[in-house]
């Protein structure tokens, strides 16, 4: 008999209501009460993972320690809970079908017709319970992607219905997140779309236990009563989720509304008293009461879509709070940056971050941004492609290797200072084949990173195919581009720094994936401090 409790978060009326933030906020409150909680996301698309999706399509691809390429909501889970997630925390329809089809080929269903019910739904139920059965968690929160009523979500909803039946209502809870639209012409909040979406859920045999209602205006008692009556839930199970100025306010808003209380009650779990959110509240206070501000340029080619650089933007919020500084991130489109406008675009900046990315578009603008940061001693952090651009810029403009490049951009470059690893050269499949997940890195003494991390051995998460080409290392080092972090197993260069610069660091890995509220990433904290310093000395 399982003792793990399962909470499902479904969405109705509209997409983008913030199921991930609600799930993470509830998890935070339960964790603060002493429960061991994890969150899982089920995505109804056919891709095996979001690794092959364009950021415009899906936002950032988040990477876990075990090298899973996942939905960006897992980033919120880690940032809120400060507990690492893994491949088991993100399952797509593609992965479910792949696994069922592989089983069919192995003959595991010999003699049977393989069908959505029961084979696909059994696989889904198994994936949901893997985390629960690990014994590591008291509560598993599963967020179902998409909106109730979507064709592609149906097998997930049916699986939830079956689990509720199998494990019992005291072990399974469904939270339905909906939108209460405000009609300005009528001056009224409207409950009808919510009533309909709760009904749609009922057509699949699921009665929502708790309603979380996204709204721009407070819900009156009368409206709460109406929602409770017509959606068939208790009045204490109608939770208002008013628009917040920051996602980091949502746990406290949910606490005020009693979402954690009603959840514990319904699952028959002990109410251990009001959760101490001391450290969390300290962070929120610092975030909202900065003593100074800095402007940091984010040079990327997906800047039109904020979600593309989610973890970077959140890392700046954590690092800003740590420094009691407001970080204004100024997005600069690398595609439109060149030698003629780089100074005017960057002169107001106190630091610059050159973003990760793939492909040729916008890379010359990134190289120009690096050059500006190097020449003007502007604090610089290059992440992944950003680090590669720093190596290219140094090779071209300091070493004089004309047209040095990455073989990703120009296969025939005379100076392939960034190149494919040997192991990558024979790989043709695109999905899941990059250097992924946590890799060790040894830091050199007398470096910025050694100071910043305060230790000699670190582990950081990767997602890239191309690497610093060690054939150019002696030349580059002699010219002043130090390699200050090395992977001890492969001798791959993970970090470069410019000797003669106050704060210039390029990292082949992605520090932004590991920054959390409880543990702001030290590289970002240090970059913000360097930006403040730069701004004060202007
Ligand atoms: N496109 C580069 C590579 O594959 C960098 C990837 C990234 O920035 N995540 O190596």
HEC sequence for 12-40:
CCCCCCCHHHHHHHHHHHHHHCCCCEEEE
Max intra-chain CA distance, the chain: 76
Residue 161 CA to residue 236 CA, distance in Å, equals: 23
Whole-number Å distance, alpha carbon 395 to ligand 1 midpoint, is: 18
Residue 122 host element (H or E): helix 121-133
For residue 384, indicate whether it is catalytic: yes
- Eight-state DSSP code of residue 89: G
Catalytic-labelled residue, pool 119, 176, 510, 521: 510
**For ligand 1, is residue 507 a contact (CB within 6 Å)?**
no
Q: What is the pLDDT along the chain (538 residues), one digit of tens a residue?
A: 458 999 999 999 888 899 999 999 999 999 999 999 999 999 999 999 999 988 888 899 999 999 999 999 999 999 999 999 999 999 999 999 999 999 999 999 999 999 999 999 999 999 999 999 999 999 999 999 999 999 999 999 999 999 999 999 999 999 999 999 999 999 999 999 999 999 999 999 999 999 999 999 999 999 999 999 999 999 999 999 999 999 999 999 999 999 999 999 999 998 888 888 999 999 999 999 999 999 999 999 998 888 999 999 999 999 999 999 999 999 999 999 999 999 999 999 999 999 999 998 989 999 999 999 999 999 999 999 999 999 999 999 999 999 999 999 999 999 999 999 888 888 888 888 899 999 999 999 999 999 999 999 999 999 999 999 999 999 999 999 999 999 999 999 999 999 999 999 999 999 999 999 999 999 999 999 999 999 999 8
| Cα distances (Å, whole numbers) of residue 528 to 208, 316, 369 | 45, 8, 18
The pair of three-digit structure tokens given for residue 21, joined into one six-digit string: 């933030």
**For ligand 1, is residue 384 a contact (CB within 6 Å)?**
yes
Protein residue whose Cα sits closest to atom 6 of ligand 1: 464
Protein residue whose Cα sits closest to atom 5 of ligand 1: 385
Residue 373 CA to residue 366 CA, distance in Å, equals: 11
The pair of three-digit structure tokens given for residue 166, joined into one six-digit string: 């199998």
| pLDDT at residue 2, rounded to an integer | 52
DSSP assignment of 245-261 = SSGGGHHHHHHHHTHHH
Residue 192 CA to residue 187 CA, distance in Å, equals: 15
Axis-axis angle for helices 310-323, 73-81 (nearest 10): 20
| pLDDT at residue 304, rounded to an integer | 85
Contact 189, 182 (CB under 8 A): yes
For ligand 1, mutation pick of 382, 385, 420, 510 (most atoms within 8 Å of CB): 385
For ligand 1, mutation pick of 61, 357, 381, 407 (most atoms within 8 Å of CB): 357
Predicted TM-score (pTM) of this structure: 0.95
CB burial of 148-182 (b: ≥16 within 10 Å; e: otherwise) equals bbbeebbbbbbbbbbbbeebeeebbbbbbbbbbbe
The pair of three-digit structure tokens given for residue 448, joined into one six-digit string: 């910025």
For ligand 1, mutation pick of 366, 384, 407 (most atoms within 8 Å of CB): 384
Catalytic-labelled residue, pool 368, 384, 393, 460: 384
Ligand 1 atom nearest 467 alpha carbon: 10
Three-class DSSP category at 125: helix
Protein residue whose Cα sits closest to atom 8 of ligand 1: 356
Whole-number Å distance, alpha carbon 510 to ligand 1 midpoint, is: 10
Residue 359 CA to residue 388 CA, distance in Å, equals: 12
The pair of three-digit structure tokens given for residue 387, joined into one six-digit string: 């680090």
| pLDDT at residue 192, rounded to an integer | 96
Contact 332, 304 (CB under 8 A): no
Residue 176 CA to residue 195 CA, distance in Å, equals: 11
Residue 318 CA to residue 324 CA, distance in Å, equals: 10
**For ligand 1, is residue 357 a contact (CB within 6 Å)?**
yes
| pLDDT at residue 272, rounded to an integer | 82
Catalytic-labelled residue, pool 76, 393, 512, 521: 512
Residue 242 CA to residue 22 CA, distance in Å, equals: 11
The pair of three-digit structure tokens given for residue 500, joined into one six-digit string: 């003669």
Strand extents, DSSP E, 373-490: 380-383, 405-406, 416-420, 435-443, 457-464, 466-468, 481-486
**For ligand 1, is residue 463 a contact (CB within 6 Å)?**
yes
| pLDDT at residue 16, rounded to an integer | 84
Rounded to the nearest angstrom, the gap between the alpha carbon of residue 431 and the centroid of all alpha carbons in its chain is 19
């Amino acid at each position: 008999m399982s003792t793990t409790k399962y909470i499902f978060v479904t969405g109705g009326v509209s997409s983008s209501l913030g199921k991930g933030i609600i799930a993470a906020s509830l998890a935070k409150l339960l964790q603060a009460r002493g429960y061991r909680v994890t969150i899982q996301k089920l995505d109804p698309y056919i891709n095996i993972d979001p690794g092959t999706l364009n950021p415009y399509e899906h936002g950032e691809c988040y990477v876990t320690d075990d090298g899973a390429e996942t939905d960006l909501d897992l980033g919120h889970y880690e940032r809120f809970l400060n507990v690492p997630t893994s491949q088991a925390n993100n399952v797509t329809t593609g992965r479910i079908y792949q696994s069922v089809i592989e089983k069919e080929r192995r003959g595991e269903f010999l003699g049977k017709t393989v069908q959505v019910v029961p084979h696909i739904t059994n696989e889904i139920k198994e994936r949901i319970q893997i985390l629960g059965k690990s014994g590591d968690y008291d509560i598993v929160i599963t967020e179902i992607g998409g909106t109730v009523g979507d064709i592609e979500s149906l097998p997930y909803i049916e699986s939830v219905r079956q689990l509720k039946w199998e494990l019992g209502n005291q072990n399974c809870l469904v939270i339905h997140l909906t939108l209460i639209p405000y009609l300005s012409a009528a001056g009224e909040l409207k409950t009808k779309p919510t009533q309909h979406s709760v009904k749609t859920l009922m057509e699949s045999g699921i009665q929502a236990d708790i309603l979380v209602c996204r709204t721009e205006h407070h819900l009156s008692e009368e409206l709460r009563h109406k929602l409770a009556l017509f959606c068939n839930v208790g009045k204490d199970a109608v939770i208002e989720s008013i628009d917040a100025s920051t996602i980091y306010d949502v746990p406290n808003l949910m606490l005020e509304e009693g979402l954690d209380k009603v959840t514990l009650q319904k699952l028959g779990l002990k109410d251990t008293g009001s959760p101490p959110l001391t450290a969390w509240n300290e962070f929120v206070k610092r975030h909202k009461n900065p003593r100074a501000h800095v402007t940091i340029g984010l040079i990327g080619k997906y800047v039109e879509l904020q979600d593309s650089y989610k973890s970077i933007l959140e890392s700046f919020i954590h690092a800003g709070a740590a420094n009691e500084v407001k970080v204004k991130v100024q997005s600069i489109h690398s595609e439109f940056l060149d030698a003629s406008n780089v100074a005017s675009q960057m002169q107001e900046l106190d630091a610059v971050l050159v973003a990760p990315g793939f492909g040729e578009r916008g890379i010359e603008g990134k190289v120009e941004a690096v050059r500006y940061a190097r020449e003007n001693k502007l604090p610089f952090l290059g992440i992944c492609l950003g680090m590669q651009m720093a190596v290219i810029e140094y090779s071209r403009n300091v070493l004089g290797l004309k047209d040095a490049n990455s073989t990703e951009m120009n296969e025939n470059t005379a100076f392939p200072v960034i190149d494919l690893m040997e192991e990558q050269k024979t790989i043709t499949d695109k999905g899941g084949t990059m250097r992924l997940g946590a890799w060790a890195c040894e830091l050199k003494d007398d470096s910025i990173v050694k100071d910043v991390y305060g230790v000699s051995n670190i582990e950081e998460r990767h997602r890239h195919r191309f690497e610093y080409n060690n054939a150019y290392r002696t030349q580059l080092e002699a010219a002043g581009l130090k390699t200050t972090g090395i992977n001890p197993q492969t001798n791959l260069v993970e970090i470069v720094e410019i000797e003669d610069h106050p704060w210039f660091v390029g990292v082949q890995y992605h520090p932004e994936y590991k920054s959390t509220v409880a543990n702001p990433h030290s590289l970002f904290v240090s970059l913000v401090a360097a930006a403040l310093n730069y701004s004060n000395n202007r």
